[in-house]
Amino acid sequence: MRIAVVGLGKIGQPLAALYASLGHQVLGADVNAAVVTAINSGRATVVNEPGLPEKLARSVAAGRLRATTDTTDAVRQSEIVLIAVPMLVDADRALDYTMMDAAFGAVARGLQPGALVLLETTVPVGDTRSRFGAMLEGSGLVMGRDFSLAFSPERVQSGRVFRDLATYPKVVGGIDDESGRRAEDFYHELLGAPVLRLSSAEAAEFCKLAESVYRDVNIGLANELALSAERHGLNISEIIAAANSEPQSHLHAPGIGVGGHCIPVYPYFLLAQAPHPIVAAGRAANEMMPAHAADLLAERLGELAGQTVLILGLAYRAGVKEPMLSPASALAAILRERGARPLVNDPLFTDEEIAALGLEPAPLIAPEADAIVLQTYHSEYHDLDFSRYPRCRVVLDGRNVLDPTRVRAAGMCYVGIGR
């Protein structure tokens, strides 16, 4: 098959490499010229994705994968068009269609009769058909007659994309029966994993939002329970472990915030269309946790003004080089507002990359730190020697993973979330 993959980021790049490794001709399209140049030289730009560098290099060398900045031309040469361009919200939590609209406009200009268009980016319910299908019809072709259109959300996590693709059922839903059938056949042939074909594109869109919002609300509940445990002088980690021994309980873990492209974003796709009090409450509970972390530090330090706080981990999740909506950035901003000096360390990022985000980079051993906040539990932080921080008085364990006895043995105050 001739496949165009539009958007060569954390999802699109592995998909392009996978499909090319299976013997198909893949044209990857991205507006970032540096990404395109790297891929054409056989080098993956998505890091810490096991198997990607090898699959991509072999596919480029075999002539089955190449990249271009000309999305329209890539689509013009392809019978299958897969779109994996980010859909975000802006600083006011309003939906930001900028990248998606640009991508679909370019796709429409190159769309060929008989093509199957697959949207993998999570979108609000109805957008596949009403917004993006209508944009594709700007080509003069009619969806359902001249081209097929289906929604099939990515259900993978960075750092394990290939494993997840081979394991989790692939959800698909078409704008009509023929679109759904073609999408089901495509994914069944290429992935080998089970395919769940739903009744419509809208059902598939809602499925992705439901599973994502569930996680956000669950974490929000865990955070509220953690605050209550603090008021009662209890250990929320002990309580959740015991509660989850009952088969009906599936409480997630509390923390100092939720980051990434997905969980803190997708609830707003629902909230933009109708009021959802529980969804809004879960989002509010999670968004206030960086401020709560700052309050915990202030209680133990006496004040934040003039204090230096070392934040360990910029990435929103361990082992993943992604700063999108990281709680580290939110916490650093709050600390600055309260007169503290936040420092940020992350082994996955260079000092220049950290500084480009408006943060002050620091080495892992920063002797000037008055307090340490563990935000991301990278493997590099598993065996911290707290004795190497002579000024540190407080360690805030933002993920409840550190051994409190080791912290206290170094003469420091241990603080956990809900502990």
Amino acid at residue number 109: R
Separation of alpha carbons 128 and 144, rounded Å: 13
How do residues 156-214 score in pLDDT, each as one tens digit? 998 999 999 999 999 999 999 999 999 999 999 999 889 999 999 999 999 999 999 99
* pLDDT in the model for residue 316: 94
Mean pLDDT of the chain: 97
Task: Kindly state the greatest CA–CA separation across the chain.
Answer: 72
* pLDDT in the model for residue 246: 97
* pLDDT in the model for residue 192: 87
Separation of alpha carbons 82 and 178, rounded Å: 17
Cα Rg, the chain, nearest whole Å: 23
Separation of alpha carbons 386 and 131, rounded Å: 54
Nearest to 297 by CA among 386, 418, 415: 415
User: Does domain 2-200 fall into CATH 3.40.50.1820?
Assistant: no
Q: Give 294-300 contacts, CB < 8 A, sequence gap 24+.
A: 294/331, 294/334, 294/335, 294/338, 296/396, 296/415, 297/335, 297/371, 297/373, 297/394, 297/396, 297/415, 298/338, 300/371, 300/393, 300/394, 300/413, 300/415
Separation of alpha carbons 18 and 3, rounded Å: 11
Does the fold of domain 235-419 match that of domain 2-200? yes
* pLDDT in the model for residue 221: 98
* pLDDT in the model for residue 91: 87
CATH of 235-419, one of 3.40.50.261, 3.40.50.720, 3.40.50.12780, 3.40.50.300: 3.40.50.720
Looking at the DSSP assignment, which residues form a beta bridge with residue 174?
Answer: 150
Length of the chain: 419
Whether residue 112 has pLDDT greater than 90: yes
Classify residue 73 as left (phi > 0), alpha (psi -120 to 50) or beta.
Answer: alpha
Where in the chain are the domains?
Answer: 2-200, 235-419
Element (H, E) at 209: helix 201-232
Calculate mean pLDDT across residues 222-247: 97
Whether residue 297 has pLDDT greater than 90: yes
Cα torsion through 56, 59, 62, 66, rounded to 10:
-80
Whether residue 287 has pLDDT greater than 90: yes
Q: Give the count of alpha carbons within 13 A of 162, CB side only.
A: 17
Question: In the numeric block, which tokens belong to residue 95?
Answer: 């939906």
Question: In the numeric block, which tokens belong to residue 399?
Answer: 């993920």
pLDDT tier, 326 (very low <50, low <70, confident <90, very high otherwise): very high
Asked if residues 333 and 349 have their Cβ atoms less than 8 Å apart, the reply is no
How do residues 340-368 score in pLDDT, each as one tens digit? 999 999 999 999 999 999 999 999 999 99
| Residue at token pair 């480009």 | 356
Which residues are known to be catalytic?
A: 208, 262
DSSP-derived pairing of the beta strands 148-151 and 170-174: antiparallel
Calculate mean pLDDT across residues 44-73: 97
Calculate mean pLDDT across residues 227-246: 97
* pLDDT in the model for residue 42: 98
Give me the DSSP letters along 274-289. Answer: S--HHHHHHHHHHHTH
Question: In the numeric block, which tokens belong to residue 69?
Answer: 């900045």
Give me the DSSP letters along 359-408. Answer: --B--S--TT-SEEEE-S--GGGTT--GGG-TT--EEEETTS-S-HHHHH
